[in-house]
Amino acid sequence: MVEVTVTPQSSLADRPVRVQVRGLSPSQLVTLRASLTDEHGERFQSRAFFHADGAGEVDPGRHAATGGSYAGVWPMGLFWFLQPDTLFRRLVKRDVAGSPFLVRLEVFDGLQLVTGPQDQPLASCEAQRWYVGPGVQRVPIKEGRVRGALFLPP
């Protein structure tokens, strides 16, 4: 049975996570895809193609992607290379304290350049990427023409 995991499952957006796929056949060609929908409903995604190792595992931190959104060994490549489905959109988090970005990670058999609703992943999981740590307080600043936010630790 194929399984994809992200460790830790919930983390701050600037902290590295480890993505692993297990249960593949040795040398199996797979597509690993990351996707998220921002607060405006815009979808961002990245994908990378991998060959499983002799144990049937894929780890972007140890194995080189052979193509897709990037190539080579990039442990956080699926997160760093997220691109919008609509050109010229930017990935911006507005509600930094209230909710995380939910990044869905999926693994597909073979090369998947375009994924339709009929394409079912072999496995999937979800990662929470927070922009503010637990207990941090956000205080809006408005003084004359100066605008900003002060983040106070717990």
112-131: pLDDT as tens digits: 887 777 789 999 999 999 99
- What percentage of the chain carries pLDDT values higher than 70? 100
Domain boundaries, the chain: 3-152
How would you class 51 by CB atoms within 10 Å of its CB: exposed for 0-12, middle for 13-18, buried for 19 or more? middle
Q: Using an 8 Å Cβ cutoff, are 49 and 111 in contact? A: yes
- pTM given for the model: 0.89
The dotted CATH code for 3-152 is: 2.60.40.2240
pLDDT > 90? residue 36: yes
